[in-house]
Amino acid sequence: MSYAGVWFRGDVRLAANPAVAAASKVNGAERAVPALLLLSPEQMREHDWAPIKWDLLRQHLQEFVKDAAEHGIALSIEVIDSWAKAAKAVKRFAQEHELTELHFNAEYPVHEQRRDRAVKAVLEDHNVAVHQHHGSLVVPPIITTQAGSMYQKFTPFAKAWREYLTDKGLPPLTTLPKRQSVPVAAIPEIDYPQRDSSAWEVGETAAREALHRYLDENVDSYAAERDMPGLDTTSRLSPYWELGILSPWQAIHLLAQQSPNFPAGLDKGADTWLNELIWREFYLHLMQHVPRLSYGKAFLKHTAAMQWRNNEAEFDAWCRGETGYPIVDAGMRQLASEGWMHNRVRMIVAHFLVKDLMIDWRWGERFFMQHLIDGSFAANNGGWQWSASTGTDAAPYFRVFNPTLQSEKVDPDGSYIRKWVKQLNDCPAKQIHAPAAWLKQRGRDDYPAPIVNHKQARERFLSAFKAL
């Protein structure tokens, strides 16, 4: 007789989880489903987990262990030193529960793939069948060009992604059979810094309700307002995708209710929002296909020769939000305060660091991961390489954002800047994007002058990149 267990990783949810559904089906409604979650503070440090991201997961687990117990998921949470110890821990779990099958959802960076191969090898040596699912993606990483290679540009990838969904249909929204409840799992204490994440709701139910609210009430205006940080009308669901509290399958099914021809036929706002989900999948596919991305390497190999300035004092000013460019400083101060930053502003501050200051994109990538509540290795890496013109589908190297013009475009009335740069709270809208002269007229020195001349910095960057 078969007996199946689940190994939770970046998918701490019960709904729309194919690994949980498959194990539940094997065991039937009468038998509990043994489940394991491994926590490793050392891996979290190695992967630069932000303390606020860990706190959100920790708070979510308080709800998750109760939901799991209520649905007959016999969860065990164990702390290990590193992924190198995962195979031993999973083997012990399988033997304790006399499992014949183990189900889990794939993760795509190199370390995680190596961990999973080791687990698979150990379990299959002990006659435990291992089943890997793709519960973190709507479309598994199998779509290729006509030549059989991976897509290196987003637009053709997105077209193929939509065609795959049209041809194959939506992945099913799985439900759990009713079964007898089991004891609630204990959550071990781990030695890792914490930063309060209480501004964010936790629990599957709350996350699903937030998704429903956004798609019901706000998605129609997404295309028109997504680049305006002062409006703050984006979904703010990214931490839930990253920790697997929400499944992209759930979003897809809700969007499909808006069009009988889904994924075609959506209104502009919903279709633009869907495109952002496809960007997320694009970067996860790249993790599967391009291992060097997991080692801090540029996608475009020739850009490895770039000679970065890496001025530490200027990097520190960028980190503190004291560059003298208000839109950049507002974004960095929002990150410091909330552990989150508006997506358009992420692009602006990244361009400024890489192209105005000529600081290695990996410095910014790591700083973001150390502070973002939604820090996704795949999406963060993809975004930074796009900004640095080193990645797939990267911005052309000659595209250098002018931070002042960007500021005027995305925050015309200065409301976002005033919220985060308090020294400019009384600065008029016409002067707030370049306030140096206005401040000088008033004899004020409480806000820094620009640390770099954009025009000169642009020419410096273009000259260096052309040499490649």
- Please name the fold of domain 137-173+203-289: 1.25.40
Give yes or no for a contact between 204 and 183, defined as CB atoms under 8 angstroms apart.
no
Measured N-to-C along each axis, helices 361-371 and 377-388 cross at an angle, to the nearest 10 degrees, of 150
Strand, coil or helix: what is 180? Answer: coil
Q: CA triplet 388, 390, 393: central angle to 5 degrees?
A: 100
- How far is it between the farthest Cα atoms of the chain? 83
Measured between alpha carbons, how far apart are the two ends of the chain, in Å? 62
Give yes or no for a contact between 375 and 49, defined as CB atoms under 8 angstroms apart.
yes
CATH 3.40.50.10330 applies to domain 4-135: no
The stretch 356-384 carries a mean pLDDT of: 98
Token pair recorded at residue 114? 């190596």
425 is catalytic: no
Structure confidence at residue 174 as a pLDDT band (50, 70, 90): confident
Distance between CA atoms of residues 362 and 385, nearest Å: 9
Which amino acid is present at 326? P
**Whether residue 329 has pLDDT greater than 90:** yes
Q: Which residues pair with 76 in a beta bridge?
A: 36
Q: 264: Cβ–Cβ under 8 A, 6 or more apart, which residues?
A: 162, 166
Q: Which residues pair with 79 in a beta bridge?
A: 39
Provide the pairing of β-strand 33-39 with 4-8: parallel
452 alpha carbon, distance to own chain's centre: 31
Q: 456: Cβ–Cβ under 8 A, 6 or more apart, which residues?
A: none
Q: At 192, phi and psi to the nearest 5? A: -150, 140
279 is catalytic: yes
Structure confidence at residue 468 as a pLDDT band (50, 70, 90): confident
pLDDT tens for residues 429-457?
Answer: 999 999 999 999 999 999 999 999 999 99
**Whether residue 176 has pLDDT greater than 90:** no
**Whether residue 1 has pLDDT greater than 90:** no
Q: Which of 54, 340, 361, 420 is catalytic?
A: 361
The stretch 24-29 carries a mean pLDDT of: 92
Known binding residues: 222, 234-238, 273, 276-283
Structure confidence at residue 232 as a pLDDT band (50, 70, 90): confident
pLDDT at 397: 73
Eight-class DSSP state of 186? P
Eight-class DSSP state of 94? H
pLDDT at 352: 98
Q: 318: Cβ–Cβ under 8 A, 6 or more apart, which residues?
A: 328, 332, 349, 352, 353, 357, 359, 364
Distance between CA atoms of residues 251 and 235, nearest Å: 12
Distance between CA atoms of residues 164 and 145, nearest Å: 12
Supply the mean pLDDT for the chain: 96
% of the chain with per-residue pLDDT over 70: 99
The stretch 416-423 carries a mean pLDDT of: 98
Give yes or no for a contact between 154 and 43, defined as CB atoms under 8 angstroms apart.
no
Structure confidence at residue 395 as a pLDDT band (50, 70, 90): low
Q: At 133, phi and psi to the nearest 5? A: -115, 170
Give yes or no for a contact between 51 and 195, defined as CB atoms under 8 angstroms apart.
yes
**Whether residue 120 has pLDDT greater than 90:** yes
The stretch 164-187 carries a mean pLDDT of: 90
The stretch 216-234 carries a mean pLDDT of: 95
Q: Which of 218, 311, 343, 402 is catalytic?
A: 343
**Whether residue 398 has pLDDT greater than 90:** no
pTM, full prediction: 0.96
Eight-class DSSP state of 177? P
Q: 423: Cβ–Cβ under 8 A, 6 or more apart, which residues?
A: 444, 446, 447
Q: At 34, phi and psi to the nearest 5? A: -65, 140
Eight-class DSSP state of 75? E
The stretch 412-426 carries a mean pLDDT of: 98
Eight-class DSSP state of 150? P
384 is catalytic: yes
Q: Which of 49, 279, 340, 386 is catalytic?
A: 279
Known binding residues for FAD: 222, 234-238, 273, 276-283
Architecture of domain 301-466 in this structure: Orthogonal Bundle (1.10)
**Nearest Cα residue to 219 out of 260, 267, 158, 257:** 267
pLDDT at 242: 97
Q: Which of 308, 311, 322, 338 is catalytic?
A: 308
Distance between CA atoms of residues 148 and 350, nearest Å: 33
One DSSP character per residue, 322-338 reads: -SS-HHHHHHHHHHHHH
Token pair recorded at residue 324? 């003298």
200 is catalytic: no
**Whether residue 187 has pLDDT greater than 90:** yes
pLDDT at 289: 93
Token pair recorded at residue 461? 């960057």
Distance between CA atoms of residues 88 and 115, nearest Å: 11
Q: Which of 78, 276, 338, 408 is catalytic?
A: 276
What ranges do the domains of the chain cover? 4-135, 137-173+203-289, 301-466
**Whether residue 76 has pLDDT greater than 90:** yes
Q: Which of 249, 384, 386, 420 is catalytic?
A: 384
127 is catalytic: no
363 is catalytic: no
Strand, coil or helix: what is 296? Answer: coil
Distance between CA atoms of residues 365 and 48, nearest Å: 10
